[in-house]
Amino acid sequence: MKSHHNLTRPRFARMALCVAFALGGPLVGLPGMAQVSISEVPLINADVSVKPNLMFILDNSGSMDFDYLPDSLDDRQNQWDEVTRRERYGHWSSHCNGAAFNPDSATVSYDRPVTPDGRPYPNMSPTAAWSDGFIPATVSNSSYNVTTSINTETPDPDRAVADGGPVTLDVSVSIYDGSYSYSVGNPIVFYQRIDSSTTDRTHFVVGSVTGVTTSGKNKTYTIRLTFSSFRNGTIANWVMGRVSTIDLTSASNNPATHQYYTYSPLSNSPRAMSWAYDSNGTLNWSDTFVSECMSEIGTAPGSARFTQELISGLSASEQVRYANWYSYYRKRILKMRSAAGRTMASLNDDYRVGFSSLNKDGSFNTTVTNDLRYFMDVGDFTTGHKLTFFSNLYGSPVGG
């Protein structure tokens, strides 16, 4: 017996479509089928305005707060090894530590990071550097909420003299003379206050006190602002505080802030960053490179190859370069921010960009919107979208 197949309309249409393509004929008169226009131009050659979509994922896990690369620098040779990482030559030398200061300016320039609109962050002062160049910390109990109007478009220390620069902005702030007061010369930061409980500390303007007058219980401070980390018109809600700084040239400080070690190779010495491991992935302590880098300071074989250099002995320009490394490149997360920010600032709204981070610790902008909480939807990289992106990139804390 022959079997009979019921060709429904959709199935018939599909079969007819295949036959029409096979025969090179037009798709005319097929029930339920619309006319189809097939382009004769390859898609790759067509004028198609589809924007690239980029999703930026930031590793802000706990190890990104480390000031050393690789992790092996923190290894111990055995259970009796009580020498800490900072007591070894390797931690202080770029020969062994990929995060340490490299004295060779021809190899590493330590370019300053940039704002969302592409302006460079300020050069750091060797005698008053910030621990985190993206979020200048404040001295304890030195902060006040203020409603001073500040034009964030104005301060620009890098504007050329021929273009009227550098540009500063003087503002006056009156504060009740309470438990903390400022002095002439004190470095001051204003963080943008989003609401009564939230501050975006990546949005700041900085300067220093140039004058103080007293009237009863009130003090009026004149502050000369020299740099704004963002441009977003005039803003009147701020948290003001004295910037916490460190003198990198002071010999009285802990050596962690004023020294590094250079490596003097022999003709057969291993190249920089030549870490060696055995077949189990364990650090090979018998290897020449490993034994030199992991030597306790003052002991062989490292003592024959490494030489201490003090920041106070550098030229003025090299001290600034060291200070820029300290504030913008000293840790893994600082390196990431500096490099990624310089790349992303060059993009515009020809691109669509989103943001996410690995660690979602709840200490950054948690009461505003999801755009300022470790995730930002992919969208046109407009001025506003870019400001949000950079707040997340420069402000997401490390942890987890």
- Do residue 207 and residue 234 come from a single domain? yes
- In a domain? residue 375: yes
Given a contact cutoff of 8 angstroms between Cβ atoms, the answer to whether 134 and 394 are in contact is: yes
- Domain end point (choices 279, 296, 328): 328
Average of per-residue pLDDT across 199-217: 93
Element of type H or E holding 235 = strand 234-235
State the DSSP H helix or E strand holding residue 386, giving kind and residue range, or none if neither: helix 383-395
Cβ neighbours around 17 below 10 Å, total: 14
**What is the total count of domains within the chain?**
4
Q: Which of 40-49, 352-361, 376-385, 389-398 has the lowest mean pLDDT?
A: 40-49
Query: pLDDT tier at 386 (50, 70, 90 boundaries)?
Result: very high
- Please state, rounded to an integer, the average pLDDT across all residues of the chain: 86
Q: How many helices (H) and strands (E) does the chain have?
A: 6, 13
Tell me whether residue 44 is in a domain.
no
Whether 302 maps to a domain, the answer reads yes
More confident residue, 241 or 176: 241
Integer Cα distance of 179 and 248 in angstroms: 29
What range does the domain containing 222 cover? Answer: 144-242
Based on the fold, state whether residues 318 and 254 are members of the same structural domain. yes
298 lies in a domain? yes
The answer to whether 65 and 132 are in contact (CB under 8 A) is no
pLDDT of residue 48 exceeding 70, the answer is no
- What pLDDT score was predicted for residue 47? 66
Q: What is the pLDDT of residues 72-96, one digit of tens each?
A: 999 998 878 899 999 999 999 999 9
Q: What is the pLDDT of residues 101-110, one digit of tens each?
A: 999 999 899 9
Q: Is residue 192 part of a domain?
A: yes
What are the φ and ψ backbone dihedral angles of 12, each rounded to 5 degrees?
Answer: -65, -40
Task: Indicate whether 368 pLDDT > 60.
Answer: no
Reported confidence tier of residue 20, pLDDT bands at 50, 70, 90: very low
Query: In this structure, is residue 121 part of a structural domain?
Result: no
The domain boundary residue, chosen from 191, 219, 242? 242
181 pLDDT tier (thresholds 50, 70, 90): confident
Least confident of 148-157, 172-181, 325-334: 172-181
Whether residue 284 is found in the same domain as residue 345: no
The Cα–Cα gap between 388 and 352 comes to 13
In a domain, 136, yes or no: no
